[in-house]
Homo-oligomer: A and B are copies of this chain.
Amino acid sequence: MITEPLSPRPDRGGTATVGMVGAGQLARMTHQAAIALGIDLTVLSVDAEDPAVLAGAAHLCGDPDEVASLFALAEASDVVTFDHELVPNQHLEQLAAAGHQVRPNAVAKRVAQDKAFARSTLARADFPVPPFLVTDAGSSDAVEAFAREHGWPLVLKAPRGGYDGRGVEVVRDRAALAASPLAGSQTCWLLEAMVPIAVELAVLVARRPSGWWSTYPVVETVQEDGICRELVMPARIPVEVADRAAALAVSLAEGIDATGILAVEFFVTTDGELLVNEIAARPHNSGHATIDACQTSQFENHLRGILDWPLGATAMAAPAAATVNLLGPPGALDLRRGMPAALQDPAVHVHLYRKDPAPGRKLGHVTALADDADAALASARAAAAILVGR
């Protein structure tokens, strides 16, 4: 439902118009990039106080579940893109069928939004993934066999709608499985072997419809309770591992004809095996260091990619960068109070999203540049601790 008219946008030539479904922090930072490029970004927001709207992006208030909202956005835009996954795939197909440019396309979005579809698609195409089983109502024998083969614990994932650790559950044993949402469920679930993880990585690929692409330096991600806490760029891994991860991410982007930013998350197992974990077909938390640490941010390259403009250089501007997410602590928080103290270190860059504080909520991030990863991490952690009072 559209509850507000489009903010006025005078026609003065010389601009491209992009519609972004979603108005969170990713849309907020995309708006910053759009300003330089002279691109008019219109966001589809649920709330007029969403982060991108507070940053001044033109907005339509509407529901991404409703096709009418999506059509209204598409009609105001040269290209439609996304700051989240939660858009019904059939709506995207309808938009494309009506002649609107939807980038990334519906297939890439489905791979990003449906973990079961992603695992099956990737496994069929011989990408390395953790051992998995897509269950349905009648698969109890298959589940039993899968557990026997891979042992406990297993990891149970809701195929859709999960984020920041939601929708993922570690199932310790047969009794826990019987008490899990899988038991007696009529819908499909993703069951995975629990692989022993040495380190987690993310590769960001920027890609154009015409096929040109570029990758960012591989990022090391530190997750805690399923939420990304810290990033280190470049990842502290052997160059062969980084090269193989980048090559896998590029061939995945090509395989699903991704456009704009595609973020591919990997597990490196304790045996040194590289396995594709999750995929996001949009700018991604794992790429936030690119704003301050790379010549062109992921947000600018997402816009350039979806418009089929040439991509900007992804090289780093410093030997190392670290990003720490600012997660809302329990209790009240006034982020501004900490700003002068947090910025005391001149290598620190703070990005605030202007979201209402709530425990565990991503309210901003801090990136620090340094000569090595340890120094960058120490700077970013110190500033983050000041800001969220950890």
**CB within 8 Å of B: which residues of A?**
10, 12-16, 28-29, 31-32, 35-38, 49, 54-58, 214, 291-292, 295-296, 304, 307-313, 317-318, 333-336, 339-340, 343-354, 356-357, 364, 369
List the B side residues contacting A296 at CB < 8 Å.
346, 349
User: Which DSSP category, helix, strand, loop or mixed, fits chain A's interface?
Assistant: loop
Least CB distance from A351 to B in Å reads: 5
| 8 Å CB contact of A15 from B13, B32, B35, B336 | B336
What are 8 A-B pairs at a CB distance below 8 A? A10-B54, A28-B35, A38-B350, A295-B347, A307-B340, A310-B344, A311-B346, A313-B369
Q: Is the CB of B38 within 8 A of A310?
A: no
Those 10 A-B pairs whose CB atoms lie nearest each other, nearest first: A56-B56, A38-B352, A317-B317, A14-B335, A313-B346, A310-B343, A35-B55, A36-B351, A14-B336, A309-B340
- Report the bound CA distance from A31 to B56 in whole Å: 9
Q: Which residue of B lies closest to A294 (CB)?
A: B317
Report how far A70 CA is from B339 CA in the complex, Å.
27
Report Cα–Cα, A207/B15, bound state, in Å: 36
What's the least CB distance linking A213 to chain B, in Å?
Answer: 12
Residues of B within 8 A of A313 (CB): 346-347, 369
Residue of B nearest to A363 (CB): B14
Instruction: Given A10-B49, A35-B28, A352-B37, verify A309-B55 contact (CB < 8 Å).
Output: no
A297 to chain B, nearest CB (A): 11
Docked complex Cα distance between A38 and B335 (Å): 9
* Residue contact B350 to A37, C-beta cutoff 8 Å: yes
B-chain residues with CB within 8 Å of residue A295 when the two chains form the complex: 292, 317-318, 346-347, 349, 369
Q: Give Cα A49–Cα B295 distance, bound, in whole angstroms.
A: 30
Residues of chain B contacted by A307 (CB below 8 angstroms): 340
Whether the Cβ atoms of B36 and A310 lie closer than 8 Å is no
